[in-house]
Structure 1
Amino acid sequence: MSMDGGTMSLAIAARPLVSITLPERGYRRLAAQFFLALGATLLLTLSAKTKVVLGPVDMSLQTLAILLIAATFGMRLGIATLLLYLAEGAMGLPVFQGTPEKGIGLAYMAGPTGGYLAGFVAMAAIAGWAADRGWDRNPLKLAGAMLVAEAALMTLGFAWLAVLIGADKAWQFGVVPFIVPDLIKVALAACLMPAAWALLRGLGFPRG
């Protein structure tokens, strides 16, 4: 099967950033993907435990990490990474922001943050989907996709929290304090990914 230069350029442009480092196929590719996902779960854990004071709310860097991981890995590996992270938490590892202080394992995951944990997977899917289509080169397109990802996260988090404490309190405590900080993180992630691609192009990557 032949592929002309224009089609080849489009194929290269549509690949996520991680594709530059991965073997093309076979067990080595699977092994590389596994270790990348495992390393990313460590980054997610660190980001969950890292707090930044922004106004009246202590914010973690976790949603920023999720957006960057998904935009770097693409949809499939991004989703797999978040599922691995949730599996680690379900097994009782203290990988979440409130663990072990507020509980561990499935009991913690069924608590007030349960909807947000599910939203992490949705967020990774949307941001990764955008990266698979080359939107991670364009800050405006990527920002639009990441806003949708953020909305999906908030919707799932709010919905579950509303079941537990009611819609009014869920909106007041589970959505409103996070709107501005999360918009800042979306803007930051949407700028960092195109900047990373520009840097790599300046260094001569990717080579197609």
Structure 2
Amino acid sequence: MSLAIASKSLVSQTLPRNATQRLATQLFLAIGATVILALSAKTRVVLGPVDLSLQTLAVLVIGATFGMRLGVATLLLYMAEGAMGLPVFQGTPEKGIGFAYMMGPTGGYLLGFVAMAAMAGWAADRGWDRSPLKLGGAMLFAEMVMMALGFAWLAGLIGADKAWQFGVAPFILPDLIKVALAACFMPAAWALLRGLGVSGR
């Protein structure tokens, strides 16, 4: 996997050519995306003992829109905000803040979010975000990696059976729906961009 490949992500097509302006725009986008991530984490649908958030959808879309490098940088910035004690995660501040929260039951999923953004961004850098099937396949794999990391971390805390029961099984169908939505959103966004006269470099 080459990290030197020129990004073909949606954002890369719209960034200024000037290096200083380009960096400033990327910083602005990253900060704005962390706000979206925080809001998506707080948007919850309660189903029994499980809180379902829109955060996985936001992570997938940000990764695919930004590309691998900016997507990962954005997720790392988000993690840094949480580590500093800002209430940006789903269970903060009610269930703790900072590293104490990050090392708790959701720690594996938070790590998985970074991996998820990297994989969605990797796919977008190669132009896969023009095809819902290609992008959907990459996002499905990213979802599986995120779930595996979350499960492994949670299993170490509460055991494999409970980790599967409470940390994986209830999320399978909702997250598959989010993957499908994200995979369909990106080609639609490209179509809109082409309608505005941006065809891609």
Q: Provide TM-score, normalisation by structure 2.
A: 0.93
Structure 2 counterpart of 1:123, from 116, 120, 136: 116
Distance verdict in 2 for CA 1:145–1:62, change over 3 Å: same
Distance between the aligned counterparts of 2:47 and 2:126, measured in 1? 33
Kindly state the Cα deviation for residue 203 of structure 1 after the two structures are TM-superposed. 2.5
1:160 is paired with a residue of what secondary structure? Answer: helix
Question: Which residue of the partner structure matches residue 171 of structure 2?
Answer: 178
Say if 1:89 and 1:96, in contact at 8 Å, map to a contact too: yes
Distance between the aligned counterparts of 1:100 and 1:178, measured in 2? 23
Kindly state the Cα deviation for residue 116 of structure 1 after the two structures are TM-superposed. 0.3
Distance between the aligned counterparts of 2:81 and 2:200, measured in 1? 36
Deviant stretches of 4+, over 6 Å: none
Say if 2:42 and 2:53, in contact at 8 Å, map to a contact too: yes
Distance between the aligned counterparts of 2:8 and 2:183, measured in 1? 17
Structure 2 counterpart of 1:94, from 75, 87, 96: 87
Question: Which residue of the partner structure matches residue 37 of structure 1?
Answer: 30
Distance between the aligned counterparts of 1:133 and 1:19, measured in 2? 12
Q: Deviations over 1:5-38 (max 9, x none)?
A: xxxxxx99x6100013211242221111111100
Question: Which residue of the partner structure matches residue 151 of structure 1?
Answer: 144
Distance between the aligned counterparts of 2:153 and 2:42, measured in 1? 23
Say if 2:8 and 2:200, in contact at 8 Å, map to a contact too: no
Distance verdict in 2 for CA 1:90–1:125, change over 3 Å: same
Distance between the aligned counterparts of 1:173 and 1:36, measured in 2? 34
Say if 2:111 and 2:149, in contact at 8 Å, map to a contact too: yes
State whether structure 2 residue 50 is matched by structure 1 residue 84. Answer: no
Range that drifts further, 194-203 or 80-89: 194-203
Question: Which residue of the partner structure matches residue 113 of structure 1?
Answer: 106
Structure 2 counterpart of 1:132, from 112, 125, 131: 125
Identity %: 78
Q: Which amino acid aligns with 2:128?
A: W
Say if 2:34 and 2:78, in contact at 8 Å, map to a contact too: yes
Kindly state the Cα deviation for residue 58 of structure 1 after the two structures are TM-superposed. 3.4
Q: Deviations over 1:56-85 (max 9, x none)?
A: 743110000000000000000000000000
Q: RMSD value over aligned CA atoms? A: 1.7
Flag structure 1 segments of 5+ consecutive residues without an equivalent. 1-10
Distance between the aligned counterparts of 2:142 and 2:129, measured in 1? 14
- Computing the radius of gyration over CA atoms, which structure comes out larger, 1 or 2? 1
Q: Provide TM-score, normalisation by structure 1.
A: 0.90
Question: Which residue of the partner structure matches residue 15 of structure 2?
Answer: 22
Distance verdict in 2 for CA 1:155–1:89, change over 3 Å: same
Say if 1:54 and 1:181, in contact at 8 Å, map to a contact too: no
